[in-house]
């Protein structure tokens, strides 16, 4: 017999799902405009103007801006409001890659030693997803590839078994989106995918030294192509 209390709760549940979907849509629109520089760094994000432009209420808009603030793409000042965050300097991104060149080859080696089955599957799924995506300077076009790339690198960090390292790396992911603002040409999607496949093959084989070296090579090439 159906519980009438449960049936009475269903409409509210439906409204929640719709609101979450709308929140995600607003978030993606704003993120795309920020990363494509439709909204320039330091530009004010006026709530009333955005409400009219996107035809949404202030609730999903503020929640999307709060999410972007947590990611570092938007800044929030009390009694002033929201603004597009300034783009970090090229030197910051060079330092970011210097950090990655220390931690990610190590993590690839550790993951190759441990080879957790669930991590191997996540890595394979990420490489497969790259095959259906493409790299471009435009966020909408490179989003799917970037998400797969992010899942791949995060899975390697998770596979290392070091939780603090995984958390630190996850917090830095959004800045890799920002680094694409420096791209002056479209990257070779298949070549980048091949780099990831070589790393995965070394991890599957349990070859820690090879996995670390393939990761190091991949990061050095990525830095050169993204930052020059």
In this predicted model, what pLDDT tens digit does every residue of 1-35 receive, in sequence order?
444 444 344 444 444 445 668 999 999 999 889 88
What pTM value is reported for the model?
A: 0.79
**Mean pLDDT, rounded, for 97-107:** 95
Q: What is the pLDDT of residue 135?
A: 64
More confident position, 175 or 93: 93
pLDDT of residue 14: 46
User: Would you place residue 180 in the very low, low, confident or very high pLDDT band (cuts 50, 70, 90)?
Assistant: low
Give residues with Cβ within 8 angstroms of 15, minimum separation 6: none
Maximum average pLDDT range among 17-21, 34-38, 98-102: 98-102
Between the alpha carbon of residue 109 and those of residues 70, 74, 122, 166, 188, the distances in Å are 31, 35, 17, 15, 26
The mean pLDDT value for 194-216 works out to 98
How much is the pLDDT for 213? 98
Q: pLDDT (tens digit, 9 = 90+) per residue, 128-159?
A: 998 876 666 667 667 788 888 889 999 999 99
Averaged pLDDT of the chain: 85
Confidence band, pLDDT 50/70/90 cuts, at residue 176: low
Query: What's residue 177's pLDDT?
Result: 60
Residue 56 has pLDDT above 80, yes or no: yes
Beta strands in 25-123 (DSSP E): 44-45, 74-77, 81-84
d(C-alpha 127, C-alpha 131), whole Å = 7
Q: Are 72 and 175 in contact (CB under 8 A)?
A: yes
- pLDDT higher than 70, residue 110: yes
Question: For the chain, what percent of residues have pLDDT higher than 70?
Answer: 82
Question: Which residue did the predictor score with more confidence, 210 or 190?
Answer: 210
Question: How large is the angle between the packed helices 47-54 and 4-35, nearest 10 degrees?
Answer: 110
């Amino acid at each position: 017999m159906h519980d009438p209390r449960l049936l009475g709760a269903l409409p509210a549940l439906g409204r929640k799902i719709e609101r979450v979907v709308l929140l995600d849509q607003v978030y993606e629109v704003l993120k795309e405009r920020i990363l494509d520089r439709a909204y320039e760094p330091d530009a004010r994000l006026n709530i009333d103007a955005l409400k009219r432009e996107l035809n949404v209420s202030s609730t999903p808009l503020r929640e999307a801006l709060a999410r972007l603030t947590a990611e570092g793409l938007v800044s929030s000042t009390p009694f002033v409001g929201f603004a597009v965050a300034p783009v970090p300097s090229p030197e910051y991104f060079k330092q970011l890659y210097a950090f990655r060149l220390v931690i990610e080859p190590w993590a690839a080696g550790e993951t190759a030693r441990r080879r957790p089955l669930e991590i191997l599957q996540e890595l394979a799924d990420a490489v497969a997803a790259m095959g259906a995506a493409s790299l471009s300077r435009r966020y909408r076009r490179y989003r799917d590839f970037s998400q797969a790339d992010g899942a791949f690198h995060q899975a390697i960090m998770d596979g290392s078994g070091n939780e603090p390292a995984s958390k630190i790396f996850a917090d830095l992911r959004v800045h890799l989106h920002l680094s694409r603002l420096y791209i002056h040409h479209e990257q070779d999607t298949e070549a980048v995918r091949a780099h990831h496949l070589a790393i995965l093959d070394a991890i599957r084989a349990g070859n820690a030294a090879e996995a670390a070296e393939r990761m190091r090579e991949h990061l050095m090439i990525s830095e050169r192509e993204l930052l020059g």
